[in-house]
Structure 1
Amino acid sequence: MAIAQHQSLSGRSPLHDILAPEAIAIVGASSDSTKRGYKAMVGLIKDGYEGAIYPINPKADMILGVKAYPSLEAISGKIDLALICTPASSLPGIIAECGKKGVKGAVVLASGFKEIGGEGVKLEEAMMAASREHNVRIIGPNTSGMFNLHKKVNLLALANVKPGHVGFISQSGNMLLSLVLEAEHNRHVGFSTYVGPGNQADIGFNDYLRYLGEDDQTHVATLYVEGFRDGERFLQVARDVTAVKPVVVYKSGSTELGAKAASSHTGALAGSYAMTVDLLRQVGVSVVHQSDEVLPVAEGLAQLQKAPGKRVAVVSDGGGQATISSDRLSEAGLELATLSDTTQQRLRDVLFPQASVINPVDVAGSTDANPALLATCMEIVADDPNVDQIFLVGMFGGYSIRFAEQLLGDEMRGAEAMIELAHRVDKPLVIYSLYAPIKPPALRRLHEAGLPVYSSIEHAVQVLAALGERGLYLKNAADQVPIEAVVPHANQLAVFEKARAEGRDLFEVEAKALLRSHGIAVAEEILVTDASELADVAAHFGDQALVMKVVSKDILHKSDAGGVKLFLKGEQALRDAHDQIMRSCKAYLPTAEIKGVLVTPMAKKGTEVIIGVSRDPIFGPVLMFGLGGIFVEILEDVAFRAVPLSRHAAESMVEQIKARKILEGARGEAAVDKAALVDLLLKVSSIVSAYPHLAELDLNPVLAYEDGYAIVDARIIVDQETSA
């Protein structure tokens, strides 16, 4: 059981001086018990803050027994942090005063800034101008405040909050209160640092996460996020932090990142909640989807850190709960470990004959007279190399309540044996008990020793899933290094510049030429700009069945315009198709500028997938992979990863989609060449990183074969605004 001391990340966050201050000024301190300036003073005094407290109020000499000052300038000592409780309109001037006094950071409680628009935006800009000029970091504005319980800095004046090792950053003050009340009822979970980031006018989630990653008192960094300000930077920081300690994120709602309506499949799906979840998991973050999962998962990760894998052995004293546990484990992507013959025989040797010794293990009454036997069963399955985690399910801790008081001694001995086992093996022990809500002695002893006990099977399973996911992420850390970008070709850069100058996207022939120039297999194709060229084209391709597609910057969806003709053979078929395409496209859009038609051999039947890239306004370039063709936006069976990709990330995309069984060869079909798809994903990633004006890319469909693939359609949208 690893509750390890965490090595520091490279560099030291400047937030240490702000979030662990040696001296605090309360600007707007008050003797009115309804004011925040009063409550903050109470929180500091009651918790025994050992640093200097400076109440600022020009109308008071003393507040709560502490000498008050008319201004920051009147204080002779140094100040690390100012809590500002005055109205929004006063902030630009007060921040300037803070800077002149050498205050390092300010917590701005007031609302009425960017979040209200109009004058609020201007006010926030003025405050931030003062912040930059005077080098004062801003928490907020519109923040619920902060605390650092190990430094006894409780600026929220929350009562009964236990110091501990869960760091929490939340855009919702009520979410903090919910977790605090839950922890108070739990009695075992405590907090290190809390911050409400508010508008993130200055300090953002990535800055707070960096601090929590460096803070020795924080064993798990936990975040409630409504919106990221700089998602790309957050992913970079998260990758660093998850290497040394767990990070848990609860992301509310869909991201709705403000991207314009996109014309490609990839652009339409990017910016989704599913995309955000995939990107967070890519860098090792544990994502929870329900608010009541936040604290259980944070507690479990703080105490147990990781598991070797996702194979779970269930030890239960009730068949029904064993079945429920198996269902929930399967739904969470965990596996029921296959117990070895030796393990099963050892279990038979200690259990009643009617006991089930396959996984899940059901003791079937064997422990009614000796609950310590549950610990013996856990020891036996823990010795099995096929087992990564052990899940105890049932009524442990309540035998002395349910059956006989004299069983308390056996339960306590069982608890001690479990504690010894947890310290001996590198396999997490997670306990669910019916009796967890009433906290009987044996369960209290487990909690004291750092073993999590849950009153919900579902919560316990989410902890097991997070432990397994984190363990596998760290195990594959060496394979997480992103591939390097290719060296851009001068002639391809010139194609982008030409398209930008003409205010258009790349033509399909140009998009495929770009792919081909960087080693991606693309079928031969000929651009026909005049019908007189069709005879030579027919002769060149011979008896092959051909496809003809219109080439026009004005016609985005070629099929809708009648701009695609299939199964063409011979010169006359090409001429007829050419005439039909020209008539249909002119009827569809009379003003369309048609460059010509593209002729290429028909691809043989294969499994349709899509590969696409979109430059997300928050997270930067994001690559998508999934089931292709017309179903991509209907089924949305896709996986996302931030670019550039590592090989492991590319492989995990292919394995993530629900349609992977189709790729593996469903209903007698041959399995597709997954290695070729992974190679294609990596090459696309390297191309995107090399060409800054590539805004979106759609390869849809890509036909995957038993050997290789064929790119049927390629589209590249050009960034018309960003300079190189």
Structure 2
Amino acid sequence: MPSVVCSDASSDPLEPLFFPRAVAVVGASAVAGKRGYKAVQGLIEAGYRGAIYPIHPREEMILGRRCYRNVEELPGEVDLAVICTPAATVPGLVEECGRKGIKGVVVIAGGFRESGPDGERLEEALLTAAQKHGVRVIGPNTSGMFNLTIGLDLLGLRGVRPGHVAFISQSGNMLLSLVLEAQYHGELGFSIYVGPGNQTDLGFNDYLRFLGRESHTRVVTMYVEGFRSGQRFLEIARAVSRHKPVVVYKSGATEAGKVAARSHTGALAGSYSMTVDLLRQAGVCLVQQSDEMLPVAEGLAAWNAAPGSRVAVLSDGGGQATIAVDRLVEAGLSLAPLEEGTVRRLASILPPQASLRNPIDVAGASDDNPAILAECLSILAQDDNVDALLLVGMFGGYAIRFGEQLMGNEMRCAETFAEWRKKHDKPLVVHSLYAPIKPPAVRRLREAGLPVYASIEHSVRVLQALAERGHHLRRCSEPDARHVSPQPCVREVFLRAAQEGRNPYEHEAKVALAAHGIAAGESVLMRAPEHVEQVLERFGDRPLALKIVSRDILHKSDAGGVRLDVRGREAIVESYESILASCRAYAPKADLHGVLAMPMAPKGVEVIIGMVRDPVFGPVMMFGLGGIFVEVLNDVAFRAVPMTRDDAESMLRQLRGNKLLHGVRGLPRVDEARVVDLLLQVADFVRAYPEISELDLNPVIVHEQGYAIADARFLLNPNVLPLEGEE
């Protein structure tokens, strides 16, 4: 049997599917254009080195290969079968493959659970047959798969170059789009592709884990419409991204889940922005435009990461240099401040009219000597302040623009660039006006694996991705192994609330937080006017906030259930009675448990801290600025639990309005370290109590000395409640 070169993941259970020693095509066809024909054709034309076994009940030969009537007739061991027959036949065929010892099947047909109840039952039968014999399933309803490193092509796509970019896509058309773009580009190639389809057995998590170990793949690229097990995906992505870039284009931004949400955190969770935050937390590079996928994948395959975000721009024209600088700043990158020695060395080879401060404009010096660009870039690469370099202009087109006599000079410059990776570890990205027509110098750069783009925007996006990945690799770490034991007093709070058919009251929620060292503040529950004496005994003449306590009134201010800056016995009693009257008028049938009195929080910045147990990603923390910033602007950041300290710190940096935390317009400067500590404490708290489905601390007043939790709300999960006496 012909040999097949295996990957470094030889112990992986998916190895036989992606590196099979022999492939059977069930439902092979002699009719050109049929999937059973294209699968055989693709294997032959791609040069698959294993055995190819077409299966057809009547044909003797297909494309020069002997046919077999059924799976049982197959000679020798077969690792993979591609099934190209209608859905109704699939469960029985999977059963036959299992009895034959075939380790994996690719099921092309649709008509399973995506088609309705009958299809769902058919898919269950497929899975039952597969699990009975230990057969792994790609699909059903999949566009197929290929592994071009061994010529395994089950799609029959012509002209696809082997390379180092793997692609997992829920859309076959997205694969076709990238393949066509790569063909137009000229040099970029693919290693492995797989369409997850219905993910009946194998899914995104399995494929990403496998490709993270597969030796031919430098970058894993994914088109995702939705995750089925998002929490596990984040764990795998965090592990893979430490040694291999993962690029994701996530479509399908949705508002699903917001209608039923009852807290600020719940209302904002489940959003597209939440998914983006969580994927970035795991080290994934997110692209938000489909035409960025291939450029970013190419740039990461070439350079993997940049040591920082400081970029040196070298240009042969001022206009494009200005555009590049605008895009760099918008992308969060910075212009590298050049060392004086660098400026002097540039001055020694460039004309007097050249601009020697970043961005550098050679002022026409390259028009008759393109090789001077290589000299300039070599000087810039030696500057310790430079993390990456961007060449913008007409490189590759000098001989076209100014005369063929420049061809030799330009090609020598291209050869110098081609050797760049051997001499420098700083990424070089090239923008060329002439990239679309592929002149020889541009082709040489691409052959050498250097990224070249016709778009300044794509060039900058690649530099941004390299800088983000560099930051991730410098800061990534495992979440601290902090363990918080649930406290009996907290479980009692939850049990009492559940028995009464409600969520914990605010003062109960604060008691639970305080039990875990989270400073939630003191309060007194008033259930009668005479309880004013307890309030005065506890707080004296300090200004107070009074708030309604009711299972039926969630938004207290809307019901007139809040009074602020209340002082003295008479004012407290009047506020108590006024709050009850307003709430009775607002909700006559509401159960009014009492009025909570607490000291006014010190002056500071209002923020919101929340947690929601997302059905896809599990427990997710949220942090944002309060007031209009959360109500209208949705200026919030999300991170999956558990979190690292860097995760928490990055939540503060991410906010568009984060300058408010630094002390502006009379506001105090916030103790950010205490806020980060609070975020980590709350994250640990919710890990200890799966009973909590949502948590809302809103507002939290943060200031120079720390924070004050002005309001706290928990929502309990009725399906996860503590047992009486549980510890």
TM-score between both structures, scaled by the size of structure 2: 0.96
- 1:21-420 to 2 correspondences below 5 Å: 21-255=20-254, 261-420=260-419
Shift of 1:201: 1.3
* Alignment counterpart, residue 717 of structure 2, candidates 713, 719, 723: 719
Find the aligned partners of 1:583 and 1:130 in 2 and give their Cα distance: 66
Q: Aligned to 2:708, what secondary structure does the other structure show?
A: strand
Find the aligned partners of 1:518 and 1:215 in 2 and give their Cα distance: 44
Contact 2:604 2:667 in 1 (8 A): no
Contact 2:494 2:721 in 1 (8 A): no
2:433 corresponds in structure 1 to 434
1:545 corresponds in structure 2 to 543
Partner deviation per Cα, 1:433-463 (whole Å, 9 max, x = no partner) = 1111122222222222221111111111111
Q: Aligned to 2:632, what secondary structure does the other structure show?
A: helix
Contact 2:259 2:267 in 1 (8 A): no
Task: State the structure with bigger RCO (CA 8 A, min sep 6), 1 or 2.
Answer: 1
Shift of 1:485: 3.5
1:639 corresponds in structure 2 to 637
* Alignment counterpart, residue 671 of structure 2, candidates 651, 660, 673: 673
- Corresponding letter in the other structure for 1:424: K
Find the aligned partners of 1:386 and 1:277 in 2 and give their Cα distance: 31
Shift of 1:62: 2.2
Find the aligned partners of 1:300 and 1:668 in 2 and give their Cα distance: 45
Partner deviation per Cα, 1:335-394 (whole Å, 9 max, x = no partner) = 111112221222112111111111111111122121111111111111111110000111
- 1:679-718 to 2 correspondences below 5 Å: 679-718=677-716
Q: Aligned to 1:523, what secondary structure does the other structure show?
A: coil
1:577 corresponds in structure 2 to 575
Shift of 1:207: 0.6
Q: Aligned to 1:462, what secondary structure does the other structure show?
A: helix
- 1:515-664 to 2 correspondences below 5 Å: 515-664=513-662
Q: Aligned to 1:392, what secondary structure does the other structure show?
A: strand
- Corresponding letter in the other structure for 1:541: F
Shift of 1:668: 5.1
Partner deviation per Cα, 1:171-212 (whole Å, 9 max, x = no partner) = 010000011011111111000000010111111111110111
What percent identity do the matched residue pairs reach? Answer: 59
Partner deviation per Cα, 1:655-684 (whole Å, 9 max, x = no partner) = 111111111122354321111111111111
- Corresponding letter in the other structure for 2:662: E
Find the aligned partners of 1:485 and 1:115 in 2 and give their Cα distance: 42
Q: Aligned to 1:534, what secondary structure does the other structure show?
A: helix
What is the RMSD computed on CA atoms of the aligned residues? 1.7
Q: Quick one: structure 1 residues 57 and 259, their matched pair in 2 at CA, closer, same or farther if it must change by over 3 Å?
A: farther
- Corresponding letter in the other structure for 1:143: T
1:444 corresponds in structure 2 to 443
Please, which moves more after superposition, 445-454 or 464-473? 445-454
Shift of 1:8: 6.2
Contact 1:697 1:715 in 2 (8 A): yes
Q: Quick one: structure 1 residues 657 and 130, their matched pair in 2 at CA, closer, same or farther if it must change by over 3 Å?
A: same
TM-score between both structures, scaled by the size of structure 1: 0.96
Find the aligned partners of 2:178 and 2:509 in 1 and give their Cα distance: 51
Q: Quick one: structure 1 residues 126 and 530, their matched pair in 2 at CA, closer, same or farther if it must change by over 3 Å?
A: farther
Q: Aligned to 1:151, what secondary structure does the other structure show?
A: coil
Contact 1:624 1:641 in 2 (8 A): yes
Partner deviation per Cα, 1:10-69 (whole Å, 9 max, x = no partner) = x94311111121111111111122311111111112222221222222122222222222
Find the aligned partners of 1:467 and 1:630 in 2 and give their Cα distance: 34
Partner deviation per Cα, 1:576-623 (whole Å, 9 max, x = no partner) = 122122222222222222221111011122111111111111011111
Q: Aligned to 1:416, what secondary structure does the other structure show?
A: helix
- Corresponding letter in the other structure for 1:86: T
Q: Quick one: structure 1 residues 562 and 256, their matched pair in 2 at CA, closer, same or farther if it must change by over 3 Å?
A: closer
Q: Quick one: structure 1 residues 256 and 156, their matched pair in 2 at CA, closer, same or farther if it must change by over 3 Å?
A: farther
Partner deviation per Cα, 1:55-110 (whole Å, 9 max, x = no partner) = 22212222222222221112232221111111112222222112111111111111
Runs of 4 or more, structure 1, over 4 Å off, are 255-260
Contact 1:54 1:67 in 2 (8 A): yes
Equivalent pairs, count: 716
- Corresponding letter in the other structure for 2:363: A
Partner deviation per Cα, 1:216-251 (whole Å, 9 max, x = no partner) = 111100000001111111111111111111110010
Q: Aligned to 1:650, what secondary structure does the other structure show?
A: helix
Q: Aligned to 1:250, what secondary structure does the other structure show?
A: strand
- Corresponding letter in the other structure for 1:104: K
Contact 2:493 2:512 in 1 (8 A): no
Find the aligned partners of 2:19 and 2:276 in 1 and give their Cα distance: 31
Please, which moves more after superposition, 682-691 or 405-414? 405-414
